[in-house]
Chain A
Amino acid sequence: MHIQTHSDVIDACRFCFMCRHLDTTGNVSFREADTPRGRALVLDRIRMNPQQLANPDFINAMYQSTLSAACRKHCVSHYDEAGLVLQARHDIVEQNLAPDAVSQLVQSIEQQFAPKLIGEGQDVLILSTHEDAFEHQFLHLTGKTVQMLHVNDTGKTPFVLGFWDQAKQMAQQITSLIKKSGCMTVVTNSPAAFDALKNDYPKWGIDWDGITIEHSSTYLARLVDAGKVTLSTNDQSVYYIDSDYLRNYNDIVTEPRQLLEQSGYQLKPFGTNPEESYALGEAAMVMDQLYPRLVELMLDRFKNMMDQAMDRIVTASPYTLRILRGAGIDVMSLEEALLASPANV
């Protein structure tokens, strides 16, 4: 079984309680099963009794995880509990045990998968998984020539749902288009897409041949530092909500904040602590489609964490932005926040 690759994590987490306060699902479901300990206990049972993988309650516990990796980041030894859950989902899919809703979602992503290159610029390839490609406008400020690659998914969603073969096929198609573009820098403002290209693809044997993969926040931060982009001043105060994929998977914590500060925003700490994930299930990619009730509860928790006289919220995660906006919360994407600063409007 694939979970055996993470046996050290099962051994460490199954009797450990030390990060349960940061489990994004556990903090709203209040189930013991929705903590790293709870999931490791389940997987330990399965490790000892493989037939128990078919237990629908055990399968559900694996899919309910937001994979936010806040626990992994907190853990003194950084045991890869999120990685363990991914392996478990892989096992579930390989044994044809995936819930129907999960299989159908992956099917529809595959059906809509039609990546296409637009433009001819040779400096930078902008990879966009959603409509608003604000980086494009930033790049005009720098005089770079760009090409766009539109995709509905980088393979990240099938991957986190356990459909690794499908994910790898999508990755190969995207990689060949990127290479065909001739650009040696790929920038995306989707943290999930960034993580897929940066971390997942190389694990699947993809060699970038010197191509650099960047998230728009680090890319812009470099341009600003090099004096190529000037961000103007702004005196609003805002709360920055970290993306799980940026903070917990790639340690990108300072750059988005630095950009906002350089743009004149005063940053206020959101909630009561800097460790919890407030991204509302971003790393699970389709949490809102598979577990709408849990996302509703996460939103309730988010609202409880908001200060009374709330200033605006900024997030680098398009997923989190969509969920917050859908709930009527005043929120801007990182790019909107930076473009809204007077000199760039």
Chain B
Amino acid sequence: MILQTDNYHFEMIHSELKWAVGEENVRTDDADKLGHSIDYYWVPELWHDRNCPPQPPQIIVTPESAQDVAKVMKIANNYKIPVTPWGGGSGSQGGALPIYGGISLDTKKLNKIIEIDEKSLTITAETGCNMQQLEWATEKAGYSTMHFPASIACATLGGFLAHRGTGVLSTKYGKIEDMVMSLEMVTPEGEVINTLPVPRHASGPDLTQMFLGSEGTLGVMTKVTLKIHPIPECRKFHAFLFKDMTTAMAAGAEIMTSRLRPAVIRLYDTPETAKLIKKVLGIDREGSYLVFGFDGPEAMVDLEMAKACEICQKQEPEDLGTEMGQIWWDNRYKFFYPPYMFHMPQAFGTLDTVATFANIENVYWAMKKVVAENFPQATFIGHFSHWYEWGCMLYARFIIDDPPNDPHEATALYNKIWDMAIRAAMANGGVINEHHGVGLKLGRMMPELYGNAFDILKRIKKVMDPNNIMNPGKMGFGA
């Protein structure tokens, strides 16, 4: 149901929500609604920049407990009002945008840290916790979540769960889905459920993993237990400059397939080395910059570091040493602050793709070719961010310095680049995507990505959310 605000029925629902979760937790303030109409997706930013009318929710609700969430869901389900969970709004896929209006369910007041279990090394917290605040609290207790995404300061724990997010140290400590022990979830019909308390079991298919990545379409995740880690004795970095991306990739892949265990590897293609590594780190060199780091007991770190350097040396790169690696770590978030980050009037998008080592370079070249041949006004750059035993993630970006002024034309161009680049990636074994999620931006690609298996996902959605109130219009599930 599309909710109209200028009638008495709206006032009835508004009152019902206030009775359920308290006056202070139901808001219709224009300033706040404007904030909830734009996330980190370029298109709503463009819309705002061109002074087009915002597409806000009608009501913002800030529940303080899973029980509050359940009450909101019951009311919404009763009237068939769309509910879109909102964490920090830092998602880049439009996932938190209330495109059909209704309720924006802001989770930020679900911010309690419930327990740190020092025996099992786990933390249990509500999902609206700001990730940086959660990490600080964990560190104060002497541990770390080891989840260090560039959006640590702005995103919520729930946002990462919903998008299967990742942090800089993912290569050793895993993506968020590797960190989760168990979840509490409120279903679209207002039931509070829990998944099994441990992530490894043989008690049937795993519900925790099914809800992770569901992007608010299957319910609201309200509580999670995560693994935590002791603070490592040391963490060291080393950087090399390779003559090109291919030799650097060979070195990176060999580090992984030799089963060394770096905490991070990051490899920048030559255009990004020239553009961003120079701008942010001040390293002004031609070639492909590769940095890696190990952490843990110092003796182990030194040994693994030496082995990894040995592997790199085979490609005869320029050795930039530890300092040029450390500088990258120290400035790892700087890339995302203005003016270092791409910004209006530029149009830009992160063509996040993941593939095996056998396919990843083909994916890169295929996307680059398609962008160069069809969109000469766009620049294509990329780096390889998150590495696994079998492959890695390509963080490719296209940038147009001077997109059309007309918002409709600019959006059409933007969508076209996405369509063509992502299809090129999929044709070469790439999967969209590794950690940014699907949202509004890529929903239309889901049937192509999954083939006839997408029908299974649709049926799960239908069973969980028969009235389709949860985040309609996202993930390819339709409205």
Contact = CB atoms under 8 A, between A and B. Distances in A.
Interface of A: 11-22, 30-33, 35, 37-38, 41-42, 44-45, 48-49, 55, 57-58, 60-61, 75-77, 79, 272-273
B455 interface: no
B89 A18 contact: no
A218 to B, nearest CB: 29
A35 B40 CA distance: 15
B51 A32 contact: no
A13 B341 CA distance: 12
Interface in B311-343: 333-334, 336-341, 343
Contacts of A15: 38, 40, 45, 343-344
Contacts of A60: 29, 31
A38 B153 contact: no
A211 B59 CA distance: 55
Contact of A21 (B32, B109, B154, B343): B154
Interface in B148-173: 151, 153-155
Interface string B343-383: 11000000000000000000000000000000000000000
B132 A21 contact: yes
B338 A37 contact: no
Interface stretch (B135-143, B176-184, B232-240, B409-417): B135-143
B338 A17 contact: no
Contacts, number: 105
Contacts of A18: 153-154, 333, 336-337
A18 B45 CA distance: 16
A45 B50 CA distance: 10
Among A48, A77, A272, chain B packs the most CB atoms within 10 A around the CB of: A272
18 contacts: A15-B344, A17-B40, A17-B88, A17-B153, A17-B155, A20-B88, A20-B154, A30-B106, A30-B108, A31-B29, A31-B32, A32-B32, A33-B34, A38-B31, A57-B32, A58-B31, A60-B31, A272-B133
Contacts of A77: 337-339
Interface of B: 27, 29-32, 34-36, 38, 40, 45, 48, 51, 62, 88-90, 106, 108-109, 111, 130, 132-133, 136-137, 139-140, 151, 153-155, 333-334, 336-341, 343-344
A19 B153 contact: yes
A55 B336 contact: no
Contact of B29 (A12, A13, A33, A41): A33
A265 to B, nearest CB: 21
B296 to A, nearest CB: 25
B133 to A, nearest CB: 6
Given A32-B36, A77-B339, A272-B140, A20 B153 contact: yes
B34 A21 contact: no
A42 B29 CA distance: 12
A41 B338 contact: no
B126 to A, nearest CB: 12
Nearest to B51: A48
A57 B337 contact: no
Contacts of A32: 32, 34-36, 89, 106
A102 B380 CA distance: 52
Nearest to B45: A15
Given A11-B343, A272-B133, A17 B32 contact: no
A17 B136 contact: no
Contacts of A14: 48
A75 B344 CA distance: 19
B48 A41 contact: yes
B34 A45 contact: yes
Contact of B35 (A12, A35, A49): A35
Name the 9 nearest CB pairs between A and B, nearest first. A32-B35, A17-B154, A33-B31, A272-B136, A12-B338, A61-B31, A76-B337, A57-B30, A30-B108
B35 A272 contact: no
